[in-house]
Structure 1
Amino acid sequence: MDERTRLRLDVAYDGSNFSGWAAQPTRRTVAGVLVENLDLVLGAGTATGLTVAGRTDAGVHATGQVCHVDLPTAVWREHEGRLLRRLARLLPTDVRVRAMAEVPADFDARFSATFRRYEYQVTDARWGAEPLRRHEILAWPKPLDLAALNAAAAGLVGEHDFAAYCRRKENATTLREVTRLDWRRDPDGILVATVQADAFCQAMVRSLVGAMLVAGDGRRPVEWPGSLLAGRERSSEVTVAPAHGLTLVAVGYPEDPAEYARRAEATRRLRVPVEG
């Protein structure tokens, strides 16, 4: 068997015209575009095992996405000095490979990750979102109170069963640990929610944002988003916030590469919700 080299790719994209990350036969996806262009440069099927840190949904953006691929070492040695620049010329302008680096074979972009961090941007300006930023900022029709948003966020931090906020998948747990959830208002008036967790289930971040926004505009008490955690099924009361306001901004990994395999093994273990 040929010796192979694993590469970490740091990727950014505007999700507006993608049907999410995961490859789909009849739809334009980020993974599909990456594989297509790697095949153009290296030859069909040369790059294998494309694995991503987080499969973003249709319309969601990324500035800090991470994935890995495996190449025959001889091919990597031939192309390593120019592969990044060749991809820059070939890829469409709404997706960029910002960096690539050789990593140990036990690095796993998905399972070695220690956290994912997202930001969600909202404007409550009376005129809506600025035209040049309309694809990344949600225009909210009511004034939002920053203190109320942060009070609502506080009730969601920690390890909980987020079944009320997730689209449940068979044999998958909805137990997650949210290590950071807070809001700020930037000098331009844009409200930004920062959400960080060990991992997220499908639609979880946008569901959390949707619940916090109705607390932030006064239609629900600030305790309401946290109170939904008592439920064990997805709540029909939660409206999922639109995809275009959400951006994956960072993925964390152990500082010591020797920890990649241990972290991946720990992540693969099924988390079982605590009774009671």
Structure 2
Amino acid sequence: MRYAAGIEYDGAAFLGWQRLAEGPTVQGAVEQALSYVVNHPLEVVCAGRTDAGVHARCQVVHFDTEAVRTPYALRQGGNSRLPRGVVLLWVQPVDVAFHARYAARARRYRYTILNRPVRPALQRDFLTWERVPLDAGAMHHAAQALVGEHDFSAFRTVHCQAKHARRQVHEIRCWREGEHVVVEVQANAFLHHMVRNFVGSLLLVGRGEKPAAWVAEVLAGRDRAVAGPTAPSNGLVFLGPRYPREWGLPDDVSLPA
């Protein structure tokens, strides 16, 4: 039987999603918890790996087991064995053809910046602090150059293992909510550090150090050295993937009807 699961996690205490030989990872914690419930080792496959310090509102995984357990038992039993910063939101059976990574048609990220003169005391693992006043409107205008299918070589880390840099950004928005500036991006897939590199460049525009048209120039130049710095990992949340509705997954991870 194949199952899909939605997972929420605080990435601050982990070295990222992917299981490592040493050190705490989200994948390692989830596999250990579910393996205990089904009484055999299992592997979970995720929709999109996240880096150290990055959080997830609804990461989606799939796993296989021959153990007879209800979805409720898998969720509750798994949560009883997970650390406080990780929780299974839902578990449900899916067709054996479902693949958490390859079936996803889109992925969404949100980056939140606290924009005020003093640093945060609360929620500091979920925010990036910027003391210089930001022009969110200019950031949004500049970001629209990133929408569409492009070669995003200027916004990938040198350690990125993707075979090519072409991705399709469906939507990118920047807006202000009081003291916070929010950047939200949806794409078919992302390169390593792609969202954080977007934000690093948009911050230069928001601070007035670069004109809005500069982002389009960076994109066309395909040179990582010319783009802005990589924004910190805190502040970045993987909102989740989106799948065709025929898979029968919850609405928040399904494409609009």
Give the alignment's TM-score, normalised by structure 2.
0.91
**Greater displacement, 132-141 / 169-178:** 169-178
Cα drift, residue 256 of structure 1: 1.9
**Residue matched to 1:19:** 15
Q: Residues of 2 paired with 1:150 and 1:166: CA distance?
A: 20
Instruction: Look up the SS of the partner of 2:118 in the other structure.
Output: coil
1:105 aligns with 2:96: yes
Q: 1:32-51 residue pairs with structure 2 within 5 A?
A: 32-45=28-41, 47-48=42-43, 50-51=44-45
Q: Is the 8 A contact 2:156 2:193 kept in 1?
A: yes
RMSD of equivalent CA atoms: 1.6
Instruction: Look up the SS of the partner of 1:151 in the other structure.
Output: helix
1:61 aligns with 2:55: yes
Q: Residues of 2 paired with 1:112 and 1:206: CA distance?
A: 25
Q: Residues of 1 paired with 2:131 and 2:224: CA distance?
A: 26
1:94 aligns with 2:85: yes
Cα drift, residue 236 of structure 1: 4.8
Instruction: Look up the SS of the partner of 2:19 in the other structure.
Output: coil
| Cα distance change of structure 1 residues 83 and 216 upon mapping to structure 2, 3 Å threshold | same
Q: Is the 8 A contact 1:182 1:193 kept in 2?
A: yes
* Aligned counterpart in structure 2 of residue 176 of structure 1, from 156, 167, 173: 167
**Residue matched to 2:196:** 206
Q: Residues of 1 paired with 2:127 and 2:156: CA distance?
A: 23
Cα drift, residue 141 of structure 1: 2.3
Cα drift, residue 237 of structure 1: 4.0
Identity of aligned residues (%): 34
Partner deviation per Cα, 1:138-196 (whole Å, 9 max, x = no partner):
0012100111111111111111100010125456110011111111212x421111111
1:164 aligns with 2:154: yes
Code of the aligned partner of 1:65: Q
Q: Is the 8 A contact 2:72 2:91 kept in 1?
A: no
Q: 1:119-158 residue pairs with structure 2 within 5 A?
A: 119-129=110-120, 131-158=121-148
Mind listing any 5+ residue stretches in structure 2 that lack a counterpart? 249-257
Q: Is the 8 A contact 1:166 1:201 kept in 2?
A: yes
Instruction: Look up the SS of the partner of 1:78 in the other structure.
Output: coil
| Cα distance change of structure 1 residues 80 and 179 upon mapping to structure 2, 3 Å threshold | closer
Code of the aligned partner of 2:79: A
Cα drift, residue 232 of structure 1: 3.5
| Cα distance change of structure 1 residues 171 and 193 upon mapping to structure 2, 3 Å threshold | closer
Partner deviation per Cα, 1:88-129 (whole Å, 9 max, x = no partner):
222111011100111111111101101000000001111222
Bigger Rg, structure 1 or 2: 1
Moved over 4 A (4+): 168-171
Q: Is the 8 A contact 1:228 1:235 kept in 2?
A: no
**Residue matched to 2:106:** 115
Q: Residues of 1 paired with 2:115 and 2:202: CA distance?
A: 14
Give the alignment's TM-score, normalised by structure 1.
0.85
Instruction: Look up the SS of the partner of 1:139 in the other structure.
Output: strand
**Residue matched to 1:71:** 65
